[in-house]
Structure 1
Amino acid sequence: MSERPRIILVTGSASGIGAAICRRLAAPGTAFMVHARKNAEGAAAVADELRALGAVAQTHLCDLREAGAAAGLVERTVETFGGLDVLVSNAGSANKKPLLEVPEDDLSAATDTILTAFFQLARAAAPHLKQGRDPRVVAVSSFVAHIFRKDVTLFPVTAAAKAGLEALARAFAIELAPFGVTSNVVVPGYTEKDPGAHSAFTPEGWRRVAEQVPLGRIAKPRDIANAVAFFADPASDFVTGQTLHVNGGLHI
């Protein structure tokens, strides 16, 4: 009897990096829960793409900052497909307001969206991952949690939340290891946005940040997706608690 296809949940997957991760992991029969906060059209389009690649896909809209939303997303995935094998925590936000000016509510919003949501997702997913096929947790962080220089735009509250996310991912690696579940982190550098998507930089700003990258360009979403695919692959079963930077040499 052949093994059943894997079941994958990717948060924030209606566009950008999250959508690229879904496309990269898609294989005939693989089941996806495509998540978005409110972009129903984008989520539906990604689900259609996955179906065209032979995968099975459903969508779920929820704001992960709301009480019970993260656990509800996991349960919807399990109820729909019968289990969960791969959790990719990708949903996030970006805030570059200086610490001395940023409203306190912005810090709460960043930690709720990035840190607390990952904590709740992974805890809700753990019982199902323990029973999963080649079970994986992959957290998508950001270079802003690692680079603090005068010549680099800072995202202080985002950095704080992402740093916490990375710490949680390492802790989950230890706690879940006895069950064969790995937990790793991918840290994107500057990454292209989808056309029309909100951006922290102007076109000229993007040109300037590309000049900071030794490999001479900013990342494409598929560059990040390739790294996530490595951690999600069954062949990476002896890699856990690790952090992989994908930034063209920006952070060495």
Structure 2
Amino acid sequence: METKTKVPKIEKNWQIKDRTYMLTGGKAPLSWTIQSKHTARKPLLWFDEELGEQREIRYASNQKSLFVDEQKGNATLAHVVFLDGILEVPKHQQSLQKLLSLYHPKAGEIWTEIDEEAEAMDEVDNIEFELEALNLVKSLDIEHLEAVMRTELGSAVANMSTKELKRDAYLFAKKDPELFIEVSKDEDIKLRNLANRAVERGIIELTDDNTIFRFANGKKIMQVPFDQNPYGALAQYFKTDPGVDLMKSITKKLS
């Protein structure tokens, strides 16, 4: 009676399916042959933690196992060749797949498996992020959009028309939807934008060294804490009792 070979832990979640492999680093030579058997000059070994020993690897198309100590009879050796940087391995070639995915010491270094399911999931996530970002552009009020775009364009937003602002917001949302969503959901972004607009319109002033906000008459509003963004600091000040009154006054003057 034939003894059933124990399945190594590394194969615990192995799935039987067609697999595609690609050379890393954008390499795509007409052909690229990888080492597929152990020799004294060029070792090809896998350390079996369960057995506590190195095991010789030899890929043979007529053998179920990659390990020499489990192979029986004559071994039909076969070359493993990438063509134009790609190697497609059907699901019935399990030993070759396992060599390329699990056991070869160069797996993940010289080549990598193309996980089409994972790539599809990533693409779906990217599309959904993009849709969410584009819908945000459509739903946000113009003041909020201006606040978001100020993080990208700086003070240039002050001279843009509504159409120009929306156009650039759509472009930003399409280019980097995840960042657009993150910025638009920043609870302080509208307050920072208000601070920027107030300085641009001359309602308040920021000293040249970015350390003090003051009114146009020179009266000090607040000292910017060390190592903080001045507009971020003023946004936080707007949340205090005296800051709320200032924020209301600025909002009224800007309207």
Larger radius of gyration: 2
Alignment TM-score > 0.5, same fold:
no
TM-score range, shorter chain: under 0.3
Q: TM-score, normalised by structure 1?
A: 0.20
Name which structure has the greater RCO, CA cutoff 8 Å, separation 6+.
Answer: 1
